[in-house]
Amino acid sequence: MIETTTKNEAAVRQEELLGIDNLNVSFHTRRGVVKAVRNLRLNIKEGETLALVGESGCGKSVTAHAITRLVPMPPGVIESGIIRFRGTDLLKLPDKEMRALRGSKISMIFQEPMTSLNPVFTVGSQIAEVFITHEKLGKKEAFAKAVELLDLVKIPDPGKRALSYPHQLSGGMRQRVMIAMSLASPEPGLMIADEPTTALDVTIQAQILQLLTELKARVGMALLLITHDMGVVAETADRVAVMYAGHKVEEAAVEELFANPRHPYTLGLLKCQPSAPSNRGANRLSSIEGSVPDLLTLKEGCPFANRCENVKKECLSSFPEITRISENHEFSCHNPVTGSGDPR
Amino acid sequence: MSNNQTNNIIEEELIPPAEPGFWKESWYQLTRNRAAMAGLIVIAIFALLAVFAPLAAPKDPLEQTISARMTAPFTDGYILGTDDLGRDLLSRIIYGGRISLIIGIVSVGISLVTGTILGMAAGYFGGWVDRIIMRIIDIMLAFPYILLTIVIVAILGPSLMNAMIAIGISQMPRYARVIRASVIAEREQDYVLAERSLGTNNVELMFRTILPNTLAPTMVQATLGVGEAILSSAGLSFLGLGAQPPTPEWGLMIASSKQFITSAWWIVTLPGLAILVTVLGFNLLGDGLRDILDPRLRD
Amino acid sequence: MLKFILKRLVLLIPTLLGVVTLVFFMIALAPGDPARVMLGERANAEQLAQLRSELGLDQPLSKQYLLYISRIIRGDLGKSIVTQQKIIDELSDRLPATIELAITATIFASILGIVLGVTAARRRNSWVDYSTMTGSLVGVSMPVFWLALVLIMIFSIGFDLLPTGGRMDVRLYFKPITNYYLIDGIIMWFREGNSDYFISALKHIILPTVALGTIPLAIIARTTRSSMLEVLKQDYVKTARAAGVPEGKVVFRYALRNALLPVVTVIGIQFGMLLSGAILTETIFAWPGIGKWIYHSIGARDFPAVQGGILFISFFFVIINLVVDLLYSVINPRIRLK
């Protein structure tokens, strides 16, 4: 039956599923080196939903690609870091073993369902491909399982739909197909969803998110949800990490973050939400002054300094150390927002 | 003979209107492209030799020295040898370069002018003008390019000049299409509407305002077109439909000496090599131009 | 889908009509008196008059045009001045030779071109990539007939490996079955256990194939490479990788099928061009096809023959282009299932 619970604390186990330490990813372009991810430390427990938020270009997508080792390696370089998946360092894994993990224990869905599906193959055969790759099933068997999955993601008339081509389906349905593809494993450990609903209509967004949470609970997998929409975060996540210009600036359990944001950027993000109290009855939505810095010309110090209301002298010279205020809440700021700034 | 026809049909590109510094920036990028620069150098050498042929060529290309016929290269002072009538091959090749330059300029000139007028008219006026012009173009393109040139030369009579006209007309459709596409993209732009509101008349609007912004893809097409014109002319000469003896046109030189491939390989090989290097130069430059004008939009 | 096909077929008619008209004007506008040109200086007035009325030259232009169209529809392309045979017969006799060469050259160019293009795309900026790209540029920069002559100089005369011309060793006499010598050679091999025919046919077709196929090879390689590069950048390739599909399969099954779509069009167009552009190559290799026949007709000033030959080939060209278009819409599911 369809349940409306969006939090599944019971399903969150305590073991670490994914642990990222000291990750640095850069891109060597013709115009210079872009440090897309800097000194990232992040972890995800089995069964939990971690949301990774930030504006475009903050490095959240690159992080996701680094986990699956899909960062295009000519311009991209993983300068340092460890990505532990159930104990194994993914960055040191030989290609073959990494491939075995992709699509089975670690799967990924992308933002644009139209371009993410191969236009010349039926959706059924694309899902079946995952079975053929990982479970060595025959074509017919694999296709049958694909149909089962289409049913699982609530696509009507799955038998017929499996024979359709991507361009014959709507955006919402295509995203469901993507989700189906990522579930084609008996025990997926981590699903990474890179802005899964950004390209969809608002009404479909809600459906897809609900589908994701249900399936997640059913299968017992963890979800790394990448988004820039705090509303989505509130609905689906257990914990949140906020990124800005490649750095993680704050991380907390969802309620804690919304109730007690400490980093000025986080506060700014929360205030920007159309549903925020500060926006109630206002004529204009509040927004954060200024724009994201050019990653090519980033200097030392906190990258948010030029837009920050709380900026101090130290902010320009050094990136702040991590401050932990509780087991579930940490942030990096020289001059954090005081605890009483509750945007809710 | 027609090599880039397919490429062009598939890759018709549009570019944004020229911004200040667009040309400077393009030139800078071009110099960074080694292949294009190589092509430019080849073309420069070719052009210089062509223009200063009388100074560069050691002998008269038409002068026959029967006693010295079929001399091998590097013998008796003939650097590239002589042909079956005792004419110095080096001089003939250099003068042939001059003829090829003329062929390139005239043929491309004809296609450019006619293609621009038709493409402009079609793109700008639209409606039935567009439809009629496109129909003509489609019929011309339905013809295999080589056969079209043959047909036109057959109508006009075999001579080098007519060959150039035939080539010019046969290549016209491509320019027309490229220009038309550009015009259609540009005509709704703000700067055009602004000019129109000032009361500029149609002709001025077309040629003074819009045309400069269609230059980029046209330049690519023209550069590649010169190479193709040279190849086409060579082919027509081979069929006896282009340059007539004793003109030192490269294609004709190959054609009239094919019976000597066993006895005097240089008469056949060297003019062809001249064609290859020259056309390669234009292709390199044309490719380079296309590269800098297109991926700029992507990166 | 059917409507689409029908629409294109209907559009075929005005195009063909345009082609016929253009060719008609070839004779009509040619300067001078065609009759005199054809019969030469020594013809007397009576012969000239007879030829003129035979050719319908004494009629007004519009009537000539209609006459011409009606003859074309009936498949009558007239008679060759030189051989006095029906042109349509001469052309049909020579068609298999031209087709055989065109097909062989296309297959050669396609297979090699696709392999090179894919390899170049996968190993971007490697020496394979650079040499493929350079080789392609060189390939489209040389005159076909020059390449043919150079090949003959090297392989026939220099190394005496391959014959200089013709389709088959003249000493081997046999009665053609399909008129496609490679196929006939295989049939003879089976039937009589004699591989000489096949080997001879093969040897004779190699050089013309390479000469004719070089330009298409270059174009196909370039198109495949750029198409492949485009496709490899696409999101759906990333999806396949994210699903753990092995890289080889990603390239050859997932990427290639998309990348080949424009390549198929190019191959089709190239085939059409080979069919129509083989005049020079056939002549040099004394390949008894339509191209060589047109060449000699040009030299002999056999106007009806040239006209008929050009018309014949142009028809094929137009039809092949149409087939290519339709083929593309069939193999691309996005168009097929709108």
Q: Which of C236, C261, C334 lies nearest to residue A115, judging by beta carbons? A: C236
Is pLDDT of B55 > 60? Answer: yes
Side-chain-side CA neighbours of residue B294 (13 Å): 13
C117 and C132 in contact (C-beta within 8 Å)? yes
Q: What is the pLDDT of residue C31?
A: 63
CB contact under 8 A, A119 and C242: no
**Structural tokens at position B287:** 């490719």
End-to-end CA distance of chain A: 32
Q: Which of C23, C152, C272 lies nearest to residue B151, judging by beta carbons? A: C23
Of B142, A256, A135, B275, whose CA–CA distance to C314 is shortest? B142
Interchain contact A288–C (C-beta under 8 A): no
Q: What is the pLDDT of residue A267?
A: 85
CB contact under 8 A, C146 and B261: no
What DSSP assignment string belongs to A130-188? HHHHHH---HHHHHHHHHHHHHHTT-SSHHHHTTS-GGGS-HHHHHHHHHHHHT-SSS-
Cα–Cα distance measured from residue B90 to residue B94, given in angstroms and rounded to the nearest whole number: 6
Is pLDDT of A64 > 50? Answer: yes
List pLDDT tens digits, range A173-226: 888 898 888 887 767 789 999 888 888 888 888 888 888 888 888 888 899 999
Q: What is the pLDDT of residue C30?
A: 65
The residue-averaged pLDDT of A59-67 equals: 89
Cα–Cα distance measured from residue A198 to residue A61, given in angstroms and rounded to the nearest whole number: 13
For residue A96, what is the nearest residue in chain C, using CA coordinates? C246
**Strand A329-331 vs strand A247-253: parallel, antiparallel, or unpaired?**
antiparallel
Q: What is the pLDDT of residue A215?
A: 85
What DSSP assignment string belongs to C69-124? HHHHHTT---B-TTT-SBHHHHHHHHHHHHHHHHHHHHHHHHHHHHHHHHHHHHTT
Of A200-214, A251-265, B29-43, C208-222, which one has max mean pLDDT?
A: C208-222
CB contact under 8 A, C276 and B147: yes
B35 and B283 in contact (C-beta within 8 Å)? no
SS (H, E, C) A190-232: EEEEECCCCCCCHHHHHHHHHHHHHHHHHHCCEEEEEECCHHH
Of residues B181 and A344, more confidently modeled: B181
End-to-end CA distance of chain B: 34
**Structural tokens at position B85:** 């009538």
The residue-averaged pLDDT of A125-153 equals: 87
Query: Which strands sit side by side in the sheet containing A329-331, from one edge to the other?
Result: A106-109, A190-194, A222-227, A49-53, A239-244, A247-253, A329-331, A323-326
Q: Which of B1, B147, B283 lies nearest to residue C137, judging by beta carbons? A: B283
* Amino acid found at C252: F
C23 and B155 in contact (C-beta within 8 Å)? no
- At A109 the three-state DSSP class reads strand
CB contact under 8 A, A181 and C239: yes
Cα–Cα distance measured from residue B235 to residue B217, given in angstroms and rounded to the nearest whole number: 27
Q: How many angstroms separate the Cα of A222 from the Cα of each of A8, A49, A81, A326, B30?
A: 11, 6, 22, 23, 51
Percent of chain B with pLDDT over 90: 21
- List CB contacts of A290: < 8 A, sequence separation 6 or more: A306, A307
For residue A64, what is the nearest residue in chain C, using CA coordinates? C242
Q: How many angstroms separate the Cα of A231 from the Cα of each of A291, B109, C260?
A: 21, 62, 43
Which residues in chain A have their CB less than 8 angstroms from residue C261's CB?
Answer: 120
CB contact under 8 A, C333 and A119: yes
Which residues in chain C have their CB less than 8 angstroms from residue B280's CB?
Answer: 137-138, 141
User: Does pTM surpass 0.90?
Assistant: no
Q: How many angstroms separate the Cα of B266 from the Cα of each of B93, B260, C66, C138?
A: 12, 9, 52, 20
CB contact under 8 A, C272 and B144: yes
Indicate which of C122, C227, C236 best probes the interface with A, i.e. most A CBs within 10 Å of its own CB. Answer: C236
CB contact under 8 A, A133 and C243: yes
Of residues B290 and C175, more confidently modeled: B290
Max CA separation in chain C (angstroms): 85
Indicate which of C8, C27, C124, C141 best probes the interface with B, i.e. most B CBs within 10 Å of its own CB. Answer: C141
Count of CB pairs separated by less than 8 Å, A with C: 76
For residue A127, what is the nearest residue in chain C, using CA coordinates? C243
Of residues A326 and C213, more confidently modeled: C213
A166 and A123 in contact (C-beta within 8 Å)? yes
Which residues in chain A have their CB less than 8 angstroms from residue C126's CB?
Answer: none
Which residues in chain B have their CB less than 8 angstroms from residue C31's CB?
Answer: 156-157
**Structural tokens at position A145:** 């399982």
**Strand A329-331 vs strand A49-53: parallel, antiparallel, or unpaired?**
unpaired
Which residues in chain C have their CB less than 8 angstroms from residue B150's CB?
Answer: 298, 306, 310
Indicate which of A120, A132, A195 best probes the interface with C, i.e. most C CBs within 10 Å of its own CB. Answer: A120
Interchain contact B297–C (C-beta under 8 A): no
* Amino acid found at A160: K
With cut-offs at 50, 70 and 90, classify the pLDDT of residue B16: very low
Of C256, C276, C221, C335, whose CA–CA distance to C98 is shortest? C276
The residue-averaged pLDDT of B25-48 equals: 83
- List CB contacts of B44: < 8 A, sequence separation 6 or more: none
Cα–Cα distance measured from residue B18 to residue B21, given in angstroms and rounded to the nearest whole number: 8
Cα–Cα distance measured from residue A291 to residue A302, given in angstroms and rounded to the nearest whole number: 14
Q: Which chains touch B (3 or more CB pairs under 8 A)?
A: C
B12 and B4 in contact (C-beta within 8 Å)? no
ipTM above 0.90, yes or no: no
Helix (H) or strand (E) holding B189, with range, is none
Of A253-257, B17-21, B189-193, which one has max mean pLDDT?
A: A253-257
Which residues in chain C have their CB less than 8 angstroms from residue A118's CB?
Answer: 236, 239-240, 254, 258
For residue A166, what is the nearest residue in chain C, using CA coordinates? C334
Indicate which of B1, B2, B3, B250 best probes the interface with C, i.e. most C CBs within 10 Å of its own CB. Answer: B3
List pLDDT tens digits, range C264-288: 989 998 998 888 778 889 988 888 8
The residue-averaged pLDDT of B66-78 equals: 75
Q: What is the pLDDT of residue B22?
A: 66
Q: How many angstroms separate the Cα of B35 from the Cα of each of B42, C105, C220?
A: 11, 29, 21
CB contact under 8 A, B280 and C138: yes
**Structural tokens at position B161:** 């000049």
Query: Which strands sit side by side in the sheet containing A76-85, from one edge to the other?
Result: A32-45, A16-29, A76-85, A88-89
Q: What is the pLDDT of residue B17?
A: 43
Q: What is the pLDDT of residue C36?
A: 64
Q: Which of C242, C245, C254 lies nearest to residue A70, judging by beta carbons? A: C242
**Structural tokens at position B109:** 């000139």
CB contact under 8 A, A133 and C245: yes
CB contact under 8 A, C240 and A68: no
Q: What is the pLDDT of residue B296?
A: 53
DSSP-H helix ranges across chain C: 2-28, 34-39, 45-54, 61-73, 87-122, 127-139, 144-151, 181-192, 196-232, 235-242, 247-249, 256-277, 279-284, 290-299, 303-331, 333-336
List pLDDT tens digits, range B206-247: 777 777 777 878 888 899 999 999 999 999 998 888 888 888
Cα–Cα distance measured from residue C52 to residue C45, given in angstroms and rounded to the nearest whole number: 10
Low-confidence stretches of chain C (pLDDT < 50) are none
The residue-averaged pLDDT of B250-279 equals: 88
Interchain contact A115–C (C-beta under 8 A): yes
Name the residue with tokens 């209301």: A309
Q: What is the pLDDT of residue A339?
A: 60
Which residues in chain C have their CB less than 8 angstroms from residue A129's CB?
Answer: 240, 243, 245
* Amino acid found at B202: N
For residue A110, what is the nearest residue in chain C, using CA coordinates? C239
C73 and C20 in contact (C-beta within 8 Å)? no
**Per-residue DSSP letter, C154:** I
A109 and A86 in contact (C-beta within 8 Å)? no
Interchain contact A34–C (C-beta under 8 A): no
Cα–Cα distance measured from residue B27 to residue A235, given in angstroms and rounded to the nearest whole number: 53
Which residues in chain A have their CB less than 8 angstroms from residue C244's CB?
Answer: 99-104, 130, 133-134
Q: What is the pLDDT of residue B2?
A: 43
Q: What is the pLDDT of residue B10?
A: 33
Q: Which of C150, C262, C298 lies nearest to residue B269, judging by beta carbons? A: C150
